[in-house]
Every structure is written in structure tokens, then in C-alpha cells.
Amino acid sequence: MPRPSPNHQWSNNTLGLPVVDVVVDPYLTAHLRPHQRDGILFLYECVMGMRSAGRCGAILADEMGLGKTLQSVALSWTLLKQGPYGGRAVAKRVLVVTPGSLVHNWGAEFNKWLGRERISVFTVDQDHRIEHFMASPLHSVLVISYEMLLRCLEQKVEFGIIICDEGHRLKNSSIKTSSALSSLSCNRRVILTGTPVQNDLQEFYAIIEFVNPGILGSSTSYKKVYEEPILRSRQPSCTEEERLLGEERAAELSRLTGMFILRRTQEIINCYLPPRLDWTLFCEPSSLQLELYRHLLCHRVFRACLQASMQTQTHLACITALKKLCNHPGLLHSTVKQKTDCGSIETSLYEGLVELFPESYSSGGLSTSDSGKLLVLSDLLTAIRRLSPSDRVVIVSNYTQTLDMLQDLFVHMGYNFCRLDGQTPTSQRQRLVDGFNSPYSQNFLFLLSSKAGGVGLNLVGASHLVLYDIDWNPANDIQAMARVWRDGQKKTVHTYRLLTAGTIEERIFQRQVSKQGLSGTVFDLGKGAEHTSFSISELRDLFSLMDTPCLTHDLLSCSCSMDGSSSDSLMVSKRVCQLGRRGDHMGATQKHLSMSELMQWRHFSGDAHTFSDPYLDHARNHITFAFQTTISHTKE
């Protein structure tokens, strides 16, 4: 670690203690990647006030899978054991605040990297209260959830450093949580987040104010000096003077805050990871799905939406109905049974649907053949089980109702599985993950709710991941993939995104790859800003059903042979993007799947001789089209 400067010594070493070297424990350095060594150095310089006098905060905004937890463990251990002045420890106790689902994961990480005999970590839950931590001198690290922290505020404990995992939550959380953390008398504050923090200027101010209070002035002056000029400069109608002023203020803001924000992307560790094969599979809808879909689109509620006579709440109800139908008609049937007595406008769209279902549905029967995606999934799992018996699969869905349906199917098929969703007790989550990752695990499948398992979980025991349904936000797909394709993964990873061809799922996918600005942004799910309202033209687009193997490929105006042969990259830039209204304005450095990138994927018709993938060649009967790409450090 760097030695403190003379100025730092003058202001911090008032006792005149000898300056000694601070060295990260070799027990840890043996496991550190080069970028993690740089990260620890950055964090140490920030929290010791070496980068800016009197400022001891830092934001580590590395993308998921780069080892933010390990870097934090190494920093904590260093501060607990050493210091530059006389070797005195910088911190006596460390506070880690995290989402409830990750409390035990943090405890496990400290023990994994340091061993239980070297450090004692206290995790707060229903059985272990903070009073026990305060009464015991043995524990040097306290791990607690944001919710539990609010309840324990009356307990006065001093900490040498505070680490807030998933710290971008602070920007949207209640004033109560932010105030509670800010009230703790500790200047060394670290925020960990996989989300770019500069997307929303107000939220950016909130987290900067937490780690380094006062550096941007008051909220009012910040708004006047930075936020308003920058936002004005982004308007199409801004003057040249306003544009220049906005750019100048943005550069100044970046200069002020850049010294204590560090963000690295996934590419930095790709060379350590096995290849990842990404598939987007378009599944043929069943005859029942088509009949129900057409019925819904002709319903008076849907027609009223297209005539601008319905509220956003009704639009979302209609969209949800279509998305459920794409997953399986049985999900819609369950909703119909629950909603028929309500009588509201939103629920009236289920009128007349019951008569269209086969009689078997009324007795709780569920047929795999009634859903194109379920048929593809069933065939795919059979192929994986047959060809690679030791491989395991993570299946992700946005809906617990869908997970219930899949669970019933897997019981019927005789597959061993475990499941983690919002109802899984926090105390059991880490045990589930550890059990699944064990080489002796008997579980073939891991059912995961995207909301409960979107962050922090390490599921490298699986080498296949299925995204059963699509979200508006492509960042969620990236998060889900990071559960499996991350440091520690030894096998080639296969990811499969399932879409029902010609339906609303394709339209949502198209919005992901064409909407300007979406690629460079990770939306915060808590805001719900992605789809709070829709224009009539957008609804007309969403509320349609196209009889085609792949509407997305049709709209690409792609003239490939649809047999998986590589597209001509020179032609890609000349083709006109027909998806969305603005086309692809995104730079090559942006993160999520963009239009030009999709053109360079391999394109397979469902009639292609082979998909060049043994699993899909065994599961191709109900696949109408496929896009595929390989991510590997050998690939340019």
C-alpha cells in the first residue's frame, strides 16, 4: 500500500508515531486478480483520505462478477489488522449493510477467504440479534440488512468503516434509511454497486453526498450549478451556448467525483472465464395459445386501449395477460378463475375465456403441449440430461406463478430441483446455493425468481441457464447470466432466452435492442420508469400477433441464408434498422445487445439442417428461429 504523504502525516499523525508499511495479507493476495489488486489500492487510498484531504468515501461500481466482495474483505481485513502510523489498526469494527437476501452470503465470503479461525463475523437475523454482537468482544465484523439496521438504530456502536452493498439502493430508498446510515459517526464509507451511478443526476447527488458529504455543495446549489445546465444541454432544442455550458459542467462534475469512483466492466475478466454460448430461441405457439391470443386482441378492453380510453393500469393488465399466455395458457386460466367475481374494468378482459379452454383445465390438468416454450424447455432438459448427465441448469422467471407451474412439471418428469424466490427465508438461501454448487448435489435444476436472485448469488454449479420469460429491462438478463458465468465457472456456459414467436415477447425483445439509450443504461427496477406509460402507436405494436417464424429477423431486412453462416460484417453497417422508431444510434462500446450486434449473430431458421449445438438439435421440433453468438476471450 502507498505510504502517506507529508501533508497526510501532518494532519493525521498527531502523536508522531513511526510511519510503517501496510501490506495486504499474503493469504489473500494469492487469490487476487490484477484488477482486484488495483481495486483494493483504490479503496485504501480513498478511505484513508489520501486522494482528497478530509474525504474518506469511495464508490466501487464494478460490474457483477468482478469480485467486489473479495476486494471489500481484503480492505476490511487490512484495516482491522494494520495502519500506517505505528502499525495501529485503522478500524476496530467493520459494518457491512446489505440486502436481506445477501446477509449470510457476506458471512460465508469472509469465512471463505479468511477462515473462521482468523476472523469472527456476526450476521444479524431472527436468531442472532445485534445485542449479542455488542455484548461480545470476539466479533470484529457486523453484517446486517438495511431493514434490520433501521430497527437497531438505538444501539450505539462505533465502526471504523461502513460498507454498503448494492448501495445504489440508497438513492431510491426512503429518507429514513439514508438518514440512518448518515447518522452513524463514521467517515470511512464505501458503496458497492454493479449499477452505473451516473445515470440520474439527482440520485447521483444522493450517493455522492453519502460517501463524501458536502463535496458537491447543498442540494439547491448542485441543482442550479450542475443538474439544470447538464439536463438543458441534452434537450434537442438547446442553444449552442447551453450545450457548451452543459458539457463544461458535466466535465467539472466528473473531475470532482471521478477520483473516488471506480468502475470496470466484465470484459476485464473474460480472459479468465470459459466461453459462453448465448441463444435466443423463438418458440412456435400452440393452437390453444393462438386461439386465446386472438380472442384477447379482439376483446373490447384491448380495443378501448387502442382508442386512448383506458388508463395505464389497464394497459399493464392487458400486457400481463398476454405475457402469462405466452408462458402457458394454464397461468391465464388460473387468473380467470380468480378474477371472474371482481367485476372491474381490468378483469372484464377475461370474460368468455373459460369456454375456450379444454375441459381438463377445470380439473387442474396442465398439458405441456399447450405451450410452445414449455415444449422447447422440456425437450432441452431431456437433451441435457441425456448428453451431459453431470451438467446442471438454472431456470429464471419473473413470476412465482410460472415457477409453480414449472415445479409441477419437473415433479412429473422426475427431476430433482431446488427453488429460491421471494418467499424463501433469508436464513435458508445461502444453504440452498451452497448445496446446489456442491459437486455431490443431486439437484439437476435450480428454479430462481429474477427478483429474489437478481444480485449477488453465485451459481457456478450450473453450466446452463434458461431465461423462461422476458423483462422490459435487458440489464436483468445480464444479471441473471452473471449468476452462472462468473469467476469460478469451469465449464462452457450455455444460455437460452425463450420467446414465443410473433407475440408481445418479440415486441419487448425488439424494444430492448432498438430503443435509443437503453443499451447504456441500467434501469433501477424500484422506479418502474421503463413502462409507466405507452403511446397509442406503441400499444398497437404490442397488441398484435404476427404469423411468422421470427418477426425480429423479418424486420432486420437480413438476406442471410438462415443456416448459421456468419453475416457479412461490411453489410451490417449499410443495412437500415427497421426495429423501433429511431434505429441503432448506439456506440460499439455500450453494454447490452444492440441492433448492429444482433445482425452479426448467427441466424438459424427452424428448418436449418443443424443448429451446430447437440442440445438444440435434440430439442428443435418447436423452435421456429434462433439467434446465436459466442462470447469468449479468443473472439474479437
- Residue 280 is predicted with a pLDDT of 93
Cα separation, 102 vs 125, whole angstroms: 11
Cα separation, 623 vs 626, whole angstroms: 7
Task: Report whether pLDDT(394) > 80.
Answer: yes
Task: Report whether pLDDT(60) > 90.
Answer: yes
Q: What is the pLDDT of residues 447-461, one digit of tens each?
A: 998 877 656 678 999
- Residue 191 is predicted with a pLDDT of 93
Q: Going along 571-632, which residue ranges are E strands?
A: 602-605, 623-631
Sequence-separated (6 or more) residues with CB below 8 Å from residue 503? 285, 293, 322, 326, 545
Higher pLDDT, 313 or 243: 243
Task: Report whether pLDDT(636) > 50.
Answer: no
The two domains 28-211 and 273-284+367-631 share their CATH topology (first three levels equal): yes
Q: How many CB atoms are closer than 10 A to CB 261?
A: 22
Cα separation, 535 vs 277, whole angstroms: 36
Task: Report whether pLDDT(522) > 50.
Answer: no
CATH code for the domain defined by 28-211: 3.40.50.10810
- Residue 339 is predicted with a pLDDT of 63
With cell 396442465, the residue in question is 366
12-16, 205-209, 370-374, 388-392: least confident range: 205-209
Q: What is the pLDDT of residues 552-564, one digit of tens each?
A: 888 877 888 888 8
CA distances from 634 to 276, 280, 568, 598 (A): 12, 22, 20, 19
182-186, 221-225, 588-592: least confident range: 588-592
What single-letter DSSP state applies at residue 533? Answer: -
Task: Report whether pLDDT(415) > 50.
Answer: yes
51-65, 364-378, 533-547: least confident range: 533-547
Task: Report whether pLDDT(579) > 50.
Answer: no
- Residue 206 is predicted with a pLDDT of 84
The whole model's pTM is what?
A: 0.74
C-alpha grid cell, residue 168: 445504489
What is the average per-residue pLDDT within 574-589?
35
Long-range contacts at 145-150 (CB < 8 A, ≥ 24 apart):
145/97, 145/98, 145/99, 145/100, 145/103, 145/426, 146/97, 146/98, 146/99, 146/100, 146/173, 146/177, 147/100, 148/100, 148/124, 149/97, 149/177, 149/180, 149/181, 150/176, 150/177, 150/180
Query: Amino acid identity, residue 538?
Result: E
- Residue 488 is predicted with a pLDDT of 84
- Residue 172 is predicted with a pLDDT of 52
Task: Report whether pLDDT(309) > 80.
Answer: no
Q: What is the pLDDT of residues 242-252, one digit of tens each?
A: 989 988 998 88
- Residue 586 is predicted with a pLDDT of 32
C-alpha grid cell, residue 182: 448518515
- Residue 584 is predicted with a pLDDT of 33
6-20, 123-137, 280-294, 322-336: least confident range: 123-137
253-267, 358-372, 552-566, 621-635: least confident range: 358-372
What is the average per-residue pLDDT within 140-155?
82
Task: Report whether pLDDT(337) > 60.
Answer: yes
Q: pLDDT band at residue 7, thresholds of 50, 70 and 90?
A: very high
Cα separation, 302 vs 296, whole angstroms: 7
Fold of 273-284+367-631: Rossmann fold (3.40.50)
Task: Report whether pLDDT(170) > 80.
Answer: no
* Domain residue ranges of the chain, discontinuous segments joined by +: 28-211, 213-259, 273-284+367-631, 287-363
Task: Report whether pLDDT(174) > 60.
Answer: no
Contact 124, 103 (CB under 8 A): yes
Percent of the chain with pLDDT over 70: 85
Task: Report whether pLDDT(576) > 60.
Answer: no
Q: Going along 458-524, which residue ranges are E strands?
A: 464-467, 493-500
HSE, CB side, 13 Å, CA atoms: give it for residue 459. Answer: 35
With cell 449479542, the residue in question is 132
